[in-house]
Amino acid sequence: MKIGVLALQGAFREHLNTLALIGVEGVAVRLPADLDDVDGLILPGGESTTMRKLIDRWGLGQPILDLAASGAPLFGTCAGMIVLAREIAGGEAPILPLLDVTVQRNAFGRQLDSFEADLAVPILGDQPVHGVFIRAPVIDRTGPDVDVLARLDDGRVVAVRERNIIAAAFHPELAGETRFHRLVATMAAEHADPGEGSGRRHHPTRRSRSST
């Protein structure tokens, strides 16, 4: 089992380090071919506008959508959450509209307004999750199939899940927090081996390349 980390820009090294810490092989994803052998993908924090341009430049958009359609887990942190959102407040066009939420960019102000917080995330156990918020987004709206995983004390939504798509407004990887990555690894293992007799799932990206 391998989990990819989108390595175009942003804090991708920290995610690769966290995967190594929990004993999971991480793959730096820069080109569509890098997605061929992964069973999950992490989209890191960074600058979402730059990520949009680089995803388009290197032709990664459709292969990532195909990976998600195959059932592989995707996990976006901070800017990665913006990349996955179906709607971005202010009318900006979505990038990879996989998550039925509306996201507000830079909801907490400038980088000087960064902060840390302990968050209750019941799906990850009783111990609070420590998150680092750096020019973080926030979720203004969630669709009917979206589960809220975490809120701030003021009620604002900062982590969600919709089937195989998970997103957090904060950086667990900068706080030494591994439980989100362990959850993604568990989901990726189930994707890689969905059951006896069914074998490894075949990514739509592979099918489309072999048929052209």
In whole angstroms, what is the distance from residue 124 CA to residue 183 CA?
A: 8
Per DSSP, the residues of 33-73 read GGGTT-S-EEE-SS-HHHHHHHHHHTT-HHHHHHHHHTT--
Token pair recorded at residue 172: 């667990």
Residues classed as catalytic: 78, 171, 173
Cβ–Cβ contacts within 10 Å for residue 20, how many?
11
DSSP state of 128: P
Token pair recorded at residue 116: 């840390």
CA angle 121, 51, 102 (to 5 degrees): 50
Residues sharing a CB contact under 8 Å with residue 86, sequence separation 6 or more, in sequence order: 94, 97, 98, 99, 100, 101, 102, 143
